[in-house]
């Protein structure tokens, strides 16, 4: 079972994403903004994946990506960006910042499951080590 950090300022989206994560057998840590997510990551360095929205008050998803990538222990931690803004420029921008993948809102359970399986290696204890 992997620990997955779910970050979205919308409580209902955060809840649905966490339910999807838990339904496929992983533990979901929920945060409503990037600063809380960064704090959760520091407190739980064995988190293996981040799923985050781009637009959030306070620390947004772009800033979260930059801060996570600046930490040596998390340079390769998979980060899936979810957003309702799906233009090619926006997608390229977050991927250039260091996001691993992009999913458009509304996120389908099948797509999320596929991405989680792709980025979490069940044979390793930590995807970012």
Q: Where are the domains of the chain?
A: 5-119
pLDDT above 90: residue 125: no
pLDDT above 70: residue 128: no
Can you tell me the mean pLDDT for 113-121?
A: 91
First to last CA, the chain: 16
- pLDDT class for 121, splitting at 50, 70, 90? low
* pLDDT tens digits along 43-86: 999 999 999 999 999 999 999 999 999 999 999 999 999 998 87
Distance CA(85)–CA(95), nearest Å, equals 14
Distance CA(119)–CA(107), nearest Å, equals 17
Residues facing 79 on adjacent strands: 50
Q: Which pLDDT score is estimated for 124?
A: 46
Nearest to 32 by CA among 58, 50, 63, 69: 58
Q: What's the chain's average pLDDT?
A: 92
Domain 5-119, classified CATH 3.40.50.280, yes or no: no
pTM attached to this predicted model: 0.91
Distance CA(35)–CA(106), nearest Å, equals 24
């Amino acid at each position: 079972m992997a620990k997955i950090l779910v970050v979205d300022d919308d409580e209902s989206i955060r809840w649905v994403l966490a339910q999807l994560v838990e339904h496929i057998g992983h533990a979901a840590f929920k945060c409503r903004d990037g600063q809380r997510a960064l704090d959760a990551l520091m407190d739980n360095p064995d988190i293996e994946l981040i799923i985050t929205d781009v637009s959030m008050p306070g620390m947004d998803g772009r800033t979260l990506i930059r801060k996570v990538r600046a930490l040596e222990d998390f340079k390769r931690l998979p980060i899936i960006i979810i957003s309702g803004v799906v233009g090619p420029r926006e997608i390229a921008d977050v991927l250039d910042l260091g996001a691993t993948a992009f999913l458009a809102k509304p996120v389908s359970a099948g797509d999320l499951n596929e991405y989680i399986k792709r980025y979490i290696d069940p044979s390793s204890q930590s995807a970012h080590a």
